[in-house]
A and B are shown apart, each in its own frame.
Chain A
Amino acid sequence: EPEVTQTPSHQVTQMGQEVILRCVPISNHLYFYWYRQILGQKVEFLVSFYNNEISEKSEIFDDQFSVERPDGSNFTLKIRSTKLEDSAMYFCASSPDTSTDTQYFGPGTRLTVL
């Protein structure tokens, strides 16, 4: 069964550094998302992406964040200058052909900012 994959599984970085989290959505899916989960808290929506542009973003998704689909398979989340509070599990998700459909999540990247 096709799955969403994410790399790396764990990323440790110093405060102020840039990180890029990578995702490979399910191949025939058209909608892509990033969510994050701070330890012990709710899963929070960051951004959705469709047709090569952001379709929706939350208040969390400020100018420090950006997303890109650099080729036909990868979907990346970049944090330009990481802060301690960016430490969280970051989940990528994709859904097939409508925005109101099942979202399939990847295993997550645990980001630790020191």
Chain B
Amino acid sequence: SQQGEEDPQALSIQEGENATMNCSYKTSINNLQWYRQNSGRGLVHLILIRSNEREKHSGRLRVTLDTSKKSSSLLITASRAADTASYFCATQGNSGYSTLTFGKGTMLLVSP
């Protein structure tokens, strides 16, 4: 798989349920970021987790990072219909460059 690959590709849940999305990457990173994109719109930054962090919370979001497995997960608790969007992980490397490498994304559908 390529750098920043999310799974599942699509996830359909009911309001109130939790949604978990995973991201795997191949090279060493400085940080990993999660973004949300509503259909045809811009990217909204959700959370950044650095390589020396293991878990981070922001409101209903919980992100974990396992650098030994080169993987991250994004948990959205108590989902709402407004959470319906595509979610992307993006990694930033250690080379001193600032390039974000994005995955293909998980499309989340939250039904009322």
Contact = CB atoms under 8 A, between A and B. Distances in A.
Interface of A: 31, 33, 35, 41-45, 48, 55-56, 58, 89, 91, 93, 95, 99-108, 110
Contacts of A56: 97-99
Interface string B2-37: 000000000000000000000000000011010100
A91 B37 CA distance: 12
10 contacts: A31-B98, A45-B101, A55-B97, A89-B40, A99-B97, A100-B30, A102-B33, A102-B48, A106-B42, A108-B42
Contacts of B48: 101-102
Given A91-B43, A105-B42, A42 B104 contact: yes
A31 B105 CA distance: 25
Given A43-B43, A100-B98, 12 more contacts: A31-B98, A43-B102, A45-B100, A56-B99, A89-B40, A93-B43, A100-B30, A100-B92, A102-B33, A103-B33, A103-B100, A107-B41
Question: Number of contact residues on B: which range applies?
Answer: 20 to 34
Interface of B: 30-31, 33, 35, 40-45, 48, 88, 90, 92, 96-105
A24 B23 CA distance: 31
Contact of A105 (B43, B92, B98): B43
